[in-house]
Amino acid sequence: MPILKSSEWRGAADIAVAKPARSALALGSNIGDSRTILEAAIETLAQTPGIFLETRSSWYRTKALGPPQPDYLNGCVILQVEILPQQLLAALLEIEEQFGRVRQERWGPRTLDLDLLLYHDLILDTPNLQIPHPRMRERAFVLVPLAEIAPDWIEPVSKCVIKELLKEVDCSDVHLT
């Protein structure tokens, strides 16, 4: 699929939605009962119209980025979606809000963080959504669980499979729970 700018993605994405698209999400939490929150978020995703859970990773304990805060519990899911990327983003933001997410500081602690990593092989650049996620290739806490469930998925910008991207990051702070 071509690289699309915000002014042109809408029409192309409307055509692409004719069949289900495979999508990858990262999930994280470090406030409250993180495991319960993450499990409930997956259940909420699976009950959302146009979203179907394909598979999920194990949970990993990871050091937080940014200001001092508790460690995160992170994982990934693969979905089949019958909605456009912007609609998926809107659903993710709504689910975060349902679970008490408050955006106060960049990289601050959160009850729930849902990041859209990949949407089929789409490369999308809009003011509020970039696919692939612009920092996913740098983050072991994303790549470790994603490689567990989608090792051969080709990241469309680098053209590398996830298991190869994983070899390029330090995974020493990512621990299976």
Q: Which of 22, 61, 71, 115 is catalytic?
A: 115
Annotated catalytic residue 101: yes
Tell me the C-alpha distance between 165 and 169, whole Å.
Answer: 7
Interior CA angle at 74 toward 44 and 13, to 5°? Answer: 55
- Return phi, psi of residue 134, to 5°: -65, -20
Annotated catalytic residue 10: no
Annotated catalytic residue 115: yes
Q: Which of 113, 135, 137, 152 is catalytic?
A: 113
Annotated catalytic residue 170: no
Within the chain, residue ranges assigned H as helices are 9-16, 34-46, 85-98, 140-149, 162-166
Strand partners, 61: 73, 175
Q: Which of 56, 101, 137, 139 is catalytic?
A: 101
Q: Are strands 72-81 and 51-56 parallel, antiparallel or unpaired?
A: antiparallel
Tell me the C-alpha distance between 142 and 165, whole Å.
Answer: 11
Per residue in 56-68, is it b (16+ CB within 10 Å) or e — as a string? bbebbbbebeeee
Compute the radius of gyration of the chain from its Cα atoms.
15
Q: Which of 56, 110, 137, 139 is catalytic?
A: 110
Residues designated as active site: 101, 110, 113, 115
